[in-house]
Amino acid sequence: MPVEGRITSRALVNWPPNRPTLVAHAARLGIALLLAVLTYVLFPASPAIDFPIYEVGSVASDNVIAPFAFKVMKTPAELAQEQAQVVAGVEPVFQFLPAALDSSRAALDGFNAAVTQAAATNPQLATASVQRAAESWGIPLTAGQAAYLAMPRKRGPLFLSLHRVFDRWLSEGVASAGTLDSVRGEIVIRSGGEDHRVSSDSVLTFNMLVSRARLVHPDPGSATGDSLYMRLLATFFHPTIVPDRATTELRREDVRRSIPAAKYSVQAGEKIIGANEVVGREQNEKLRALHDAADQYRGSQRGARRIVGSIVFNFLLIALLGVPFLVFRADVYYRLRSLMTVAVLTAVVLAVGAIIAYVRPVIPELVPVALAAVVLSALFGRRISMISAMVLTTLVAGQSVFRGTNALFINLVGGAVAALTVGEIRRRNQFYQWIVTIGGAYLATAVAIGLTLDLSSRAILASAGFGVLNALGCVLLAVLLLPMAEAFTGIETDLTLLEWSDLNRPLMQRLSLEAPGTYAHTIAIANLAEAACRAIGANALLARVGAYYHDIGKIAKPQYFVENQSKGRNPHDALRPDASAHIIRNHVHEGLELAAEYKLPRALRAFITEHHGTGTISYFLDKAKQNESSPLDAREYAYPGPLPQSAETAVVMLADGIEAATRVLHEPTPDRIRDVIDHIVKQRVEQGQLVDAPLTLRQIETIKDEFTRVLVGMYHNRIEYPAASGGVTSEFAST
């Protein structure tokens, strides 16, 4: 049986090649300290508190006694609502203006005198004279109306009736039209320094005055007389009851100031909640107010110590973010850009959490821990993301504003599910699966908390809705941020690999057209590498895409590689062995040049340089030994390396040699294929080509099994169809 063990690895034993000094560690701790200070700035209240905050509907485990007097302040919305309700009960104030009646009388008398004088001056032209007199008062009249006023028997009763209307009703008080439309109930009418409360419905308005004026109409049967009567009534009417807005607003402002800003006043020594008592809304509000008051009290008493303690509290939690990177992903820890990405994501989560902290009630479902979990999972893997999500959740939930809420439980579940959901990315519609899965996690937490605390269905739906909204926003934002994070860290995610797996990309098109044999060889290796990596738990997608591009350097001189040569034509026959070896080994360098030209991702360039390792170009080395008597420089007949540094590049190295070797088999039976695989793998191990690859002996055996399975399938026997029916047999010959 294969023995579990890891091949001696210089890359692992000496990782990193140049281990950073304490100064480098200090720089990383400095980043953690800056984040701790930022956390304190965003959440200035002390995160460590002595007074628990119980949710509404929960059962208190201990007595909570107020250590000092404090007040529970109303929220701005509550205070504004209460003030609006009280202000609505303040009666509007109106002024009674007797002078308005005098103005109406004087104007009416003046107009009457002008019209009477104009009619008497020239009886033959009385109509025109009356029109001119009316226009001088700003009252244009038609010829019929002027003729009506020119007749004394019509004019006298008309003005007499208008006087009666003004004297009878304006003296009682009449408001202009629309003044009382929005007024209900009683109003205050101020007259001569005295206030009188009357019903708003009892106050006459201009429309009501018009109705009553018709009762004393002198000539209701005449259309001209009626229009003239109503026109003059409207023209010379001045309201005797007008709004006193300044006085009304002063009274309302006095009422607003009389509303206390405090909802409850708690005395020192007063019991807020007793042990084993169910927490109501009032007790919950008092507990939150006590928590805030305690922070303010401590701040006034021991400001410097409180600040230092808060920053240390935050620093210890943030420092834990670096531990999983140092333990599980040292390569990431020693890459400052990667840690800066983690720091930025942490700052984003904290900033959004601080914004949410100002919302009342606090909505912990909207803290975007899932955003950090999705991005970290895509960049660094699920394990790192899971631990980071837990630490971030503890950091946010540990802040005073979230203490007593369900922020820890909600975001711990949501962040953990987000970290586990983002695995291998193979299709774009996986984003929808992430949203549904993460949203489902938040829904489950809402139901669990709602049923535990006996919340209403509406509250449970609201919590679930916020959680689903958070899942949607986090996934969409993560998809937008991932390309920038990849470019900044130099780490390619599966999304980038999927883009480069397209065989229609220009570089792959060139390979298929200019080096078709190499292209076919590449596809075969990709199948082998993907199957083997999937079996050992390595990145199968990276292995497949890396295999696509590992031999692109052969595009420069495709005819010098056997898979692209026609039978019987080998250009190496005309070259010296050292020249041939130079061409063969140079396809690595030319591959890197093409990779730079086409901006191939860094992870894929590793397959170009590592798939041959430092192996020897043995065919031309042996040929040179036969032709040369002097000592040879073996370095001219070896690939430049480096050795494979990852499981994926090591698998591609093995697949490359095995696929080429099995092609020379005349009868590729399963046993012969397995013998070739064993031989090539043993050869690579003995040559030391796998010493830097993180592969165990058990994984190597699994790789060999997968190679055998795939190659046997590729070289399975075919049925020979009779030549008489148009088939092809092993003895086929074209005619």
Rounded Cα gap, residues 218 and 229, in angstroms: 9
| Percentage of residues in the chain having pLDDT higher than 90 | 50
Last residue of a domain, one of 210, 231, 251: 251
Task: Give, as one character, the DSSP assignment of residue 6.
Answer: B
Question: Tell me, what's the pLDDT at 386?
Answer: 94
Determine the 3-state secondary structure of 663 from DSSP. coil
Own/partner pairs, 313-317, CB within 8 angstroms, 24+ separation? 313/47, 313/48, 313/398, 314/35, 314/36, 314/39, 314/40, 314/47, 314/395, 315/32, 315/33, 315/36, 317/391, 317/394, 317/395, 317/398
Mean pLDDT value across the chain: 86
Question: Tell me, what's the pLDDT at 544?
Answer: 95
pLDDT digit string, tens, across residues 369-425: 999 999 999 898 899 999 999 999 999 998 878 876 889 999 999 999 999 998 777
| Percentage of residues in the chain having pLDDT higher than 70 | 90
Is the pLDDT at 302 greater than 70? The verdict is no
Backbone angles phi, psi at 197, to 5 degrees: -90, 125
**pLDDT tier for residue 235 given thresholds of 50, 70 and 90:** very high
DSSP-assigned states of every residue in 299-363? HHHSHHHHHHHHHHHHHHHHHHHHHHHHHH-HHHHT-HHHHHHHHHHHHHHHHHHHHHHTSSS--
Question: Tell me, what's the pLDDT at 5?
Answer: 35
Rounded Cα gap, residues 259 and 82, in angstroms: 8
Beta carbons of 192 and 220 less than 8 angstroms apart: no
Most confident by average pLDDT, 72-76, 212-216, 415-419: 415-419
Determine the 3-state secondary structure of 298 from DSSP. helix
Residues 447 and 507 in one domain: no
Neighbours of 228 (CB within 10 A): 23
Give Cβ neighbours of residue 597 (< 8 Å, ≥ 6 apart): none
Residues 347 and 204 in one domain: no
Task: Give, as one character, the DSSP assignment of residue 168.
Answer: I
Cα distances from 183 to residues 1, 89, 186, in angstroms, run 96, 11, 8
What range defines the domain where residue 507 resides? 501-716
Rounded Cα gap, residues 135 and 141, in angstroms: 8
Beta carbons of 226 and 217 less than 8 angstroms apart: yes
CATH of the domain at 648: 1.10.3210
Question: Tell me, what's the pLDDT at 10?
Answer: 33
pLDDT digit string, tens, across residues 639-683: 988 999 999 999 999 999 999 888 888 888 899 999 999 999 999
Quick one: 303 exposed, middle or buried, by C-beta within 10 A (0-12, 13-18, 19+)? exposed
Looking at the structure of the chain, the number of domains it has is 3
Task: Give, as one character, the DSSP assignment of residue 170.
Answer: I
More confident residue, 2 or 90: 90
Question: Tell me, what's the pLDDT at 303?
Answer: 61
Burial call 647-684: b when 16+ CB within 10 Å, e when fewer: bbbbbbbbbbbbbeebeeeeebeeeebbebbeebbeeb
DSSP-assigned states of every residue in 584-636? HHHHHHHHHHHHHHTT--HHHHHHHHHSSTT-B-HHHHHHHHHH--S---GGG
pLDDT digit string, tens, across residues 99-141: 999 999 999 999 999 999 988 887 778 889 989 999 999 999 9
Residues 372 and 401 in one domain: yes
Residues 650 and 692 in one domain: yes
Question: Tell me, what's the pLDDT at 21?
Answer: 61
Q: Would 155 be classed as within a structural domain?
A: yes
Q: Would 85 be classed as within a structural domain?
A: no
Is the pLDDT at 19 greater than 60? The verdict is no
The model scores a pTM over 0.85:
no
Q: Would 27 be classed as within a structural domain?
A: no
Beta carbons of 618 and 653 less than 8 angstroms apart: no
CATH of the domain at 355: 1.10.1760
pLDDT digit string, tens, across residues 706-716: 999 999 988 76
Nearest in space to 294 (alpha carbons), one of 279, 275, 272: 272
pLDDT digit string, tens, across residues 566-607: 776 788 877 888 888 889 899 999 999 999 999 999 889 999
Q: Would 265 be classed as within a structural domain?
A: no
pLDDT digit string, tens, across residues 20-39: 567 778 888 999 999 999 99
Residues 476 and 518 in one domain: no
Instruction: Provide the CB-side half-sphere exposure for 332 (13 A, CA).
Output: 25
Nearest in space to 47 (alpha carbons), one of 367, 573, 408: 408
Residues 644 and 537 in one domain: yes
Q: Would 694 be classed as within a structural domain?
A: yes
Is the pLDDT at 732 greater than 60? The verdict is no
More confident residue, 4 or 689: 689
Is the pLDDT at 726 greater than 60? The verdict is no
Beta carbons of 350 and 38 less than 8 angstroms apart: yes
Is the pLDDT at 363 greater than 50? The verdict is yes
Residues 409 and 542 in one domain: no
Residues 544 and 464 in one domain: no
Q: Are strands 241-243 and 93-96 parallel, antiparallel or unpaired?
A: antiparallel
* Encoded tokens for 54: 């119980």
Beta carbons of 417 and 442 less than 8 angstroms apart: no
Q: Would 82 be classed as within a structural domain?
A: no
Rounded Cα gap, residues 15 and 7, in angstroms: 15
Residues 438 and 565 in one domain: no
Is the pLDDT at 318 greater than 70? The verdict is yes
Rounded Cα gap, residues 249 and 90, in angstroms: 9
CA 660, chain centre distance (Å): 50
Neighbours of 584 (CB within 10 A): 20
Quick one: 67 exposed, middle or buried, by C-beta within 10 A (0-12, 13-18, 19+)? middle
Residues 399 and 539 in one domain: no
pLDDT digit string, tens, across residues 602-644: 889 999 999 999 988 877 877 877 776 556 777 788 898 899 9
Nearest in space to 235 (alpha carbons), one of 149, 289, 162: 162
Q: Would 152 be classed as within a structural domain?
A: yes
**pLDDT tier for residue 2 given thresholds of 50, 70 and 90:** very low
Burial call 687-725: b when 16+ CB within 10 Å, e when fewer: eebbbbbbbbeebbebbbebbbbbbeeebeeeeeeeeee
Residues 469 and 530 in one domain: no
Q: Would 65 be classed as within a structural domain?
A: no
Rounded Cα gap, residues 219 and 230, in angstroms: 12
**pLDDT (mean) for 429-453:** 91
Residues 568 and 629 in one domain: yes
Question: Tell me, what's the pLDDT at 354?
Answer: 93
Q: Are strands 204-205 and 241-243 parallel, antiparallel or unpaired?
A: unpaired
Last residue of a domain, one of 236, 251, 266: 251
Backbone angles phi, psi at 503, to 5 degrees: -75, -5
Last residue of a domain, one of 184, 217, 251: 251
**pLDDT tier for residue 724 given thresholds of 50, 70 and 90:** low
More confident residue, 660 or 298: 660
Quick one: 34 exposed, middle or buried, by C-beta within 10 A (0-12, 13-18, 19+)? middle
Burial call 114-147: b when 16+ CB within 10 Å, e when fewer: bbbebbeeeeeebbebbbebbeeeebebeeebbb
* Encoded tokens for 111: 């107009």
